[in-house]
Amino acid sequence: MPAKVSNVPPNLRDVLRRLNPNKPAGSDSTAIPRVARDSNALRQLHAHIGADPYAKALLTGHIGVGKSTELFELANELRPERHVIICSIAQTLGVQNLDAFALLIVVLEACIQSWMANLGAMPAGLVEELANHVRNLLPEGKRPPKDSGPSMFREFQRMQEIFGQIPKKITSGEQLARLYSEVLQRLALRYVTPEQLATLDPSSIAMSCEVLLKELESHAGKPVLLLIDDLDKVGNIVAQSDIFLDRAMALQRLHCGIVATCPLDMLFAPRGRELDHVWGPAYILDPFPVPDPIGTSAADTKLKPYLTILRSIGAQNAFSALQCRKVAGASGGILRAFVYACGACVTYALEAGENHVRDYHIDLVARDQTDLWRGRLEDADYAALTAVLDTGGSNVPKAIHLLRAGVLIRDGAAQDERQFRPAPWVMPLLDTYRKRKQPQDPKAGGPAK
């Protein structure tokens, strides 16, 4: 017998709490469950990492397209045969103060915490070796010689500011973890420019990572898989180049497999070809298919992922299938945008005292998004966007900032000439720009024919 459909009005407050766009789907019991997707890139990534325990790979795609969710899925799949460590940059440090030096500290702290949580106390000899690496950064009682130059002196001062007072005795993994947690806290709370961070020598931290990961593999009895999330949110070009290109060997040398997220815009930047040489071709996660806005069937395969999300959090009675289709279309296939829009619709419904989302709530959310970007885009942005669309995907390097912001959406599953399209909420603004720039007919007082 078919399952009965509940007609009980949903608790919109509970629905709104579950519509958290910042928590990766499937990460825990309170998050939205993961929605399975048909992705050639994911199949290739799983095959690559599953076959080579020490492979290094990049996973990229638009912010909010589901990369974090897929990292958790990869971790669950390979945990029986790998010692999996997940580093969340946004939760640990934040992406503003990130470069290769800070990234290695994040990795080192995560590895120490993973050891203690899964393998117990760290061997005394290993702790002593790692502690010596820390002290090599700031030898006690020694300062740079006066003739060493201002750059070395400034580096020494920055190291002191970042590491603070290093304990005279470090005898346990807990002390090491506490030391590096405090370092990350300092880095998170004070702004250090990427140019300043780039002057710091990460060799001692890199050596600690290499030693620790080799010992981890030995004690765990299986290869280590390091999953580094949130690197795709690094927007500073200097920091991007430092992490993924200039000092990428700091990660490439580590004795483990690595899958890291990567900014989509880097693939189309001037140094995108270098990225291919260092890491190999990146695995690009495409947006979900967007359902036809005029469709009526709830059985539409393109609509199914979005309906699944609503059902998983008990919101199926808050949105009709037609309303879900409308919100899905407005999201452009970016799941985080869909979740955010649904949450905004529910907020409007709560404000109006309704127990169901109304069509005008969806219209209000779409208009809010359009109005938000109305004041952010300039004519130069519209010109760059038009140049990409009118050439079937050429001129993307000139519109990289729009790609990063999600104004321009890249969908590799679409036909060649339609792989780049504008976000739905920017369409009214783009239409206005095109009409404004259209040549005027002086006789009719309107656009020239």
For 111-143, the pLDDT digits (tens) are: 999 999 999 999 999 999 998 888 776 655 445
- Average pLDDT over the chain reads 87
Phi, psi angles (nearest 5°) of residue 144? -60, 140
At 384 the pLDDT is 96
Q: How many CA atoms lie within 13 A of 281 on its CB side?
A: 7
Q: Is pTM beyond 0.85 here? A: yes
- Helix, strand, coil share (%) of the chain residues, nearest 5: 55, 10, 35
The span from the CA of 66 to the CA of 93, in Å, is 21
pLDDT of residue 4: 46
Digit-coded pLDDT (tens) for 348-383: 999 999 989 999 999 999 999 999 999 999 999 999
The number of helix segments (H) and strand segments (E) in the chain equals 20, 9
Q: Residue 300: what pLDDT? A: 87
Whole-number Å distance between alpha carbons of 156 and 161: 9
Angle in degrees, 0-180, between the axes of helices 203-220 and 124-137, rounded to the nearest 10: 170
Structural domain boundaries in the chain: 12-20+288-374, 40-284, 379-436
> In 154-172, which positions are buried (b, 16+ CB within 10 angstroms) versus exposed (e)?
ebbebeeebbeeeeeebee
At 258 the pLDDT is: 98
Q: What is the pLDDT along the chain (449 residues), one digit of tens a residue?
A: 444 444 546 789 999 998 988 788 877 777 888 988 989 999 999 999 999 999 999 999 999 999 999 999 999 999 999 999 999 898 888 887 788 888 999 999 999 999 999 999 999 999 999 988 887 766 554 454 455 545 544 555 566 666 766 777 888 889 999 888 888 888 887 766 666 666 667 788 899 999 999 999 999 999 999 999 999 999 989 889 999 999 999 999 999 999 999 999 999 999 999 999 999 999 999 999 999 888 777 788 999 999 999 999 989 889 999 999 999 999 999 999 999 999 999 999 999 999 899 999 999 999 999 999 999 999 999 999 999 999 988 999 999 999 999 999 999 988 888 899 999 999 999 999 999 988 766 565 555 54
Pairing of strands 257-262, 83-88: unpaired
Rounded Cα–Cα distance for residues 162 and 166 (Å): 11
Q: Tell how strand 440-441 and strand 446-447 pair up.
A: antiparallel
Cα–Cα distance between 242 and 99 in angstroms, integer?
Answer: 6
Question: What is the widest separation between alpha-carbon atoms in the chain?
Answer: 89
The number of beta carbons lying within 10 Å of the beta carbon of residue 113 is: 17
**DSSP string computed for 245-258:** IITTHHHHTSSSEE
Q: What is the pLDDT of residue 152?
A: 47
The SS3 call for residue 440 is strand
Element housing 259 (H / E): strand 257-262
The DSSP call for residue 401 is: H
What is the C-alpha to C-alpha distance for residues 344 and 365, in angstroms, rounded to an integer? 6
Determine the 3-state secondary structure of 86 from DSSP. strand
Q: Which two tokens stand for residue 218?
A: 């030995």
Taking the C-alpha atoms of residue 87 and residue 102, their distance in angstroms, rounded to an integer, is 12
SS3 label, residue 413: coil
